[in-house]
Structure 1
Amino acid sequence: MAANFVIPAKMKAWVYREHGNAADVLGLDPELEVPEVQEGQVLVKVLAAALNPIDTHRVTGVFQLPGFSLPAVPGYDLAGIVVKVDRKVKELKVGDEVFGIADEHGTLAEYTAVKESSLALKPKKLSFAESASLPLAIQTAHGGLERAGLCPGMSLLVLGGAGGVGTLAIQLGKEVFGAARVAATCSTGKLDLMKSLGADLAIDYTKVNFEDLPEKFDVVYDAVGQSERAVKAVKPGGSVVTIAEHNKTLPPPAFSFIGKSDGSTLEKLNPFLESRKVKPVIDPKSPFPFTQAIEAFSYLQTGRAAGKVVIHPIP
């Protein structure tokens, strides 16, 4: 089967060689070297990718990982086909359709090398574009709810319910964690979207201060960075998890959470995706073609996206 895939030496990829606004520093390189597969990695032919706020922070240099160096390819989320495997790879094989997070090489490229442990088999009933929209957001949503101790019968408030993580936190809260009541904040035009995802109460943040409502919640999931207000909406003994405030002292009982790449979480959630109990939400302006990656970044930075900004097809 390996003979079906001719892997070139060079590939097209979006690259930044200095930090700054994506529109200024991102460029399409038609001759970037295809990454070598290291121990425990597979080479994936990327068919779809998605953008997250952290991608913008990485390009601007606001967020930097230890040992990171330029030039670099942006992007974490991907869906594609395995075209080469290292001999220490145990489960995946050439030809497998996969989705997951690329930690090292970036996903706005025709090929990327990824640790086997960061990938899972793509849900059969989802397209590559839908699958690419999920990995970082669904793992961040799931991990945060798990750490916050959300249990069956509890109540959940999601701040920023229309974003990539928020749309999944609502659904996971209901379908996976068994929350009895889910509320979510959003702008006026997205109230119907909240209800369609299973929110029992959709709160228009342009008209209502959620912390002033008489109803309080067992868990508040803050996807927008409003922990000072969030702690006023939680019940005594409850918890507040924030994914948007990491380098500051948080008011108790708030704590920060950063999602990690973990293929086993994707495998665990696969049945909920196959059954469509948990649905990917892709912004109506998506997908952006590969040649319009800069436009995709610019749109993400407006903060107006409903769900995920996806890039597909990748040539």
Structure 2
Amino acid sequence: MATAPIPSVQKAWIYPEYGKSSEVLKLDENFPVPEVKEDQVLIKVVAASLNPIDFKRMLGIFRNTDSPRPIVPGYDVAGVVVKVGSQVKKFKVGDEVYGDINEKAVDGPKQFGTLAEYTAAEERVLALKPNNLSFVEAASLPLAIETAYEAFERAELSAGKSVLVLGGAGGVGTLAIQLAKQVFGASRVASTASTRKLDLLRSLGADSAIDYTKEKFEELPEKFDVVFDTVGEGEKAVKAAKEGGKVVAIIPPVTPPTIIFFLTSNGAILEKLKPYLESGKVKPVLDPNSPFPFSKTVEAFSHLETSRATGKVVVYPIP
């Protein structure tokens, strides 16, 4: 049982209709705290991070498979377990956990997301927070790091192969550079960014930092075993791959034989990566403007929507 009483209502950011975040996102101070199913835990949210999928969902891009409105946005969470369902085995009240609470990114994501005081999530999408990470750092990781991991699994990246990460300064890209090098053992990692972000790419382990404002990466003589497109470069991404190389993407447009995918959230990936996070081999990368306080969630979305954010945009403290 929880030690502190759990309220029936909470503060939550919600949108009752689809549209731009600046127009539809509202703070509700009396929103119901979600019920916990048998395989779920209730989390007192400490920090949450934003992802591009949050504002795309808010615009109604996948309304045909979405949950009913009003919707509390937010996929990523870090917080403390305050209640456990009857079938939960991995976690107990008081555990510090993190994860991407939506198992399927676009197929029926939860009505009650993470930009609220409390959220409920299945134990299979969660993991214990690494002790060396703050809640802000932990909240920045799940969707992005799991996406990068799944991309490289799908591309069959293995030790000794070369990798090009398109969009290396973004939320997924900053982690992809590190995973390629530290976890998958890539022999060479190149990545693209704008001029002022090239030093960041190098600091994350990129052997080659390509300034996309000055060079056309698809025309460079070097070709790669794996190209991971996080920004929607389409045909250009294919041109950068070696004959027989693999191209994976998370944003359209894509050109065959590119593999495009939406993440399936899985706490087991976070558990697998825990040693790399605890040793500091893989580090969270936070946008310099993070964290945004809960009251400034609309501003946090506006910043993310500029496409100029570096690393992850996090909301903290909540509330």
Paired residue for 1:125, among 122, 127, 132?
A: 132
Q: Is the 8 A contact 2:2 2:93 kept in 1?
A: no
- CA offset at residue 154 of structure 1? 0.3
Give SS of 2:65's match.
coil
- CA offset at residue 102 of structure 1? 1.8
Give SS of 1:117's match.
helix
Which residue does the alignment assign to 2:318? Answer: 314
Paired residue for 1:300, among 301, 304, 316?
A: 304
- CA offset at residue 3 of structure 1? 4.6
CA 1:77/1:204 → structure 2, altered by over 3 Å: closer, same or farther?
A: same
Q: How many angstroms apart in 2 are the aligned matches of 1:6 and 1:262?
A: 30
Q: How many angstroms apart in 1 are the aligned matches of 2:255 and 2:41?
A: 42
Q: How many angstroms apart in 2 are the aligned matches of 1:168 and 1:241?
A: 15
Matches within 5 A, 1:6-155: 6-64=5-63, 66=65, 68-103=67-102, 104=110, 105-155=112-162
Q: How many angstroms apart in 1 are the aligned matches of 2:257 and 2:13?
A: 41
Paired residue for 1:204, among 200, 208, 211?
A: 211
Matches within 5 A, 1:177-188: 177-188=184-195
Give SS of 1:198's match.
coil
C-alpha RMSD of the superposition: 1.0
Percent identity over the alignment is 62
Q: How many angstroms apart in 2 are the aligned matches of 1:183 and 1:131?
A: 26
Normalized against structure 1, the TM-score is what? Answer: 0.97
Q: Is the 8 A contact 2:98 2:127 kept in 1?
A: yes
Which residue does the alignment assign to 2:106? Answer: none
Q: How many angstroms apart in 1 are the aligned matches of 2:261 and 2:275?
A: 25
- CA offset at residue 255 of structure 1? 1.2
Q: Is the 8 A contact 2:36 2:85 kept in 1?
A: yes
The one-letter code matched in structure 2 to 1:47 is V
Q: How many angstroms apart in 2 are the aligned matches of 1:84 and 1:74?
A: 22
Which residue does the alignment assign to 1:241? Answer: 248
Paired residue for 1:232, among 233, 239, 243?
A: 239
- CA offset at residue 46 of structure 1? 0.3
The one-letter code matched in structure 1 to 2:153 is E
Matched positions, count:
311
Q: How many angstroms apart in 1 are the aligned matches of 2:260 and 2:269?
A: 20
Show structure 2 runs of 5+ residues with no match: 103-109
Which residue does the alignment assign to 2:168? Answer: 161
3-12 vs 57-66, which moves further: 57-66
CA 1:3/1:252 → structure 2, altered by over 3 Å: closer, same or farther?
A: closer
Moved over 3 A (4+): none
Paired residue for 1:265, among 261, 266, 269?
A: 269
Normalized against structure 2, the TM-score is what? Answer: 0.96
Q: Is the 8 A contact 1:238 1:253 kept in 2?
A: no
Show structure 1 runs of 5+ residues with no match: none
- CA offset at residue 65 of structure 1? 5.9
Q: How many angstroms apart in 1 are the aligned matches of 2:2 and 2:247?
A: 51
CA 1:231/1:91 → structure 2, altered by over 3 Å: closer, same or farther?
A: same
Q: How many angstroms apart in 1 are the aligned matches of 2:233 and 2:157?
A: 19
Q: Deviations over 1:236-259 (max 9, x none)?
A: 1101000011xx6x4232110211
Give SS of 2:6's match.
coil
The one-letter code matched in structure 1 to 2:250 is I
Q: Is the 8 A contact 2:2 2:82 kept in 1?
A: no
